[in-house]
Chains A and B, each alone.
Chain A
Amino acid sequence: MLLKLVPQETKVNFLGMRKVAAVLSIILVIGSLALFFVNSLNYGIDFKGGITVEVGYENKAVPLAEVRELMGTLNLGDVSVKQFGSDRDLLIRIERQPGGDAEQSVAMTNVRDRLSNVFPELIYRQGNIIGPVVSEELKRDGVLSVTIAVLAVLIYIWFRFEWQFGVGAVVALLHDVLLTVGFFALTRLEFNLTIIAALLTIVGYSLNDTVVVYDRVRENIRKYRKMAMEDVLNLSLNQTLSRTVMTSVTTLLALFALFFLGGEVIRGFTAAMIWGVVIGTYSSIFVASPLLMFFKIRRESMVLDEEDDPTVDKSRPSQFENF
Chain B
Amino acid sequence: MIALVCLYGAVTALPNFLSEEQRAALPGFMPEDTLNLGLDLQGGVHLLWGAQTEDVVNARLDNLADQIRDISREEARRRDVPREQRVTFTDIKVTEASVTARVRNPGLTEQARQKLIPLTQSQVGGGVAPVLGGGVQEVELERSDDVFTLTLTEQGIEIQKRDAISRSMEVMRKRVDPTGTKEITLQPQGSDRIVLEVPGASDPEEIKNLIGKTAKLSFHDVETNLSPDDIAKGRLRPRQKVLFTREGQPIVINERVIVSGDDLIDAKPAYDRGTPVVSFSFNLAGAKRFGTHTANNVGRPFAIVLDDEVISAPNINGPIPGGQGIIQGVGNIKEVNELSTLLKAGALPVKLTVLAERTVGPDLGKDNIDKGSLAAIIGFVGVIIYMVLSYGLFGLAANVALITNLILITGFLSLFQATLTLPGIAGVVLTIGMAVDANVLIFERIREEQRSGAKAFQAMERGYGQALSTIMDANITTFIAAAILYFLGSGPVQGFAVTLGIGILTSMFTAVVLTRYILSTWLKRKRPTTLPI
Binding site for B on A (CB under 8 A): 2-5, 8-9, 54, 100-102, 104-105, 108-109, 112, 123-131, 133-134, 138, 141, 144-145, 148-149, 152-153, 156-157, 160, 193-194, 196-197, 200-201, 203-205, 207-208, 211-212, 215-216, 219, 239-240, 242-243, 246-247, 249-258, 260-263, 265-266, 269-270, 273, 311-313, 316, 318-321, 323
Contacts and interface: CB of A to CB of B under 8 A. Distances in A.
Contacts of A258: 375, 379, 426, 429
Contact of B465 (A101, A249, A262, A313): A313
Interface stretch (B230-238, B269-277, B287-295, B468-476): B468-476
Interface stretch (B24-32, B72-80, B127-135, B434-442): B434-442
Contacts of A2: 389-392, 533
A252 B386 CA distance: 12
Given A197-B485, A262-B375, A263-B371, A204 B480 contact: yes
26 contacts: A9-B451, A101-B50, A101-B354, A105-B354, A125-B360, A130-B356, A144-B488, A149-B481, A157-B477, A160-B473, A204-B477, A205-B478, A211-B477, A216-B470, A239-B448, A243-B440, A247-B437, A253-B382, A254-B430, A257-B378, A257-B379, A311-B472, A313-B469, A318-B457, A318-B461, A319-B516
Given A205-B434, A261-B371, A320-B520, A194 B470 contact: no
Given A129-B356, A197-B423, A251-B434, A320 B461 contact: yes
Interface string B364-391: 1001100110111011101100110111
B529 to A, nearest CB: 12
A152 B429 CA distance: 25
Nearest to A264: B371
Which of A149, A207, A253 lies at the interface centre, i.e. has the most chain B CB atoms within 10 A of its CB? A253
Contacts of B361: 123-126
Contacts of A207: 474, 477-478, 481
Interface stretch (B213-221, B324-332, B404-412, B492-500): B492-500
Interface in B100-138: none
A109 B207 CA distance: 12
Nearest to B380: A254
A131 B436 contact: no
B481 A194 contact: no
Interface of B: 40, 48, 50, 202, 204-205, 208, 353-361, 363-364, 367-368, 371-372, 374-376, 378-380, 382-383, 386-387, 389-392, 422-423, 425-426, 429-430, 432-434, 436-437, 440-441, 444, 447-448, 451, 457-458, 460-461, 465-466, 468-470, 472-482, 484-485, 488-490, 492-493, 496-497, 500, 516, 520, 523-524, 527, 533
B433 A251 contact: yes
B440 A246 contact: yes
A257 B430 CA distance: 11
B457 A321 contact: yes
Contacts of B356: 128-131, 134
A141 B430 contact: no
Nearest to B395: A2
A101 B48 CA distance: 11
Contacts of B426: 258, 262, 266, 269-270
B484 A200 contact: yes
Contacts of B372: 262-263, 266
B513 to A, nearest CB: 11
A193 B490 contact: yes
Contact of B363 (A123, A133, A194, A257): A123
Given A193-B489, A207-B474, A258-B426, 8 more contacts: A2-B389, A9-B451, A152-B484, A246-B440, A247-B440, A249-B386, A311-B468, A320-B460
A109 B205 contact: yes
Contact of A145 (B358, B383, B485, B500): B485
Nearest to B357: A129
A141 B489 CA distance: 8
A216 B440 CA distance: 15
A194 B364 contact: no
A212 B445 CA distance: 12
Given A123-B363, A261-B374, A262-B375, A254 B432 contact: yes
B367 A263 contact: yes
Contacts of B492: 193-194
Contacts of A54: 364
A215 B457 CA distance: 24
B481 A250 contact: no
B355 A247 contact: no
A212 B364 contact: no
A4 B386 CA distance: 10
Contacts of B466: 219, 313
A210 B247 CA distance: 71
A126 B359 contact: yes
Contacts of B441: 212, 243
A125 B520 contact: no
Q: Please provide the 6 A-B residue pairs with the shortest distance between their CB atoms, ordered closest to farther.
A: A251-B433, A257-B379, A311-B469, A204-B481, A204-B478, A254-B379
Nearest to A160: B473
A179 to B, nearest CB: 17
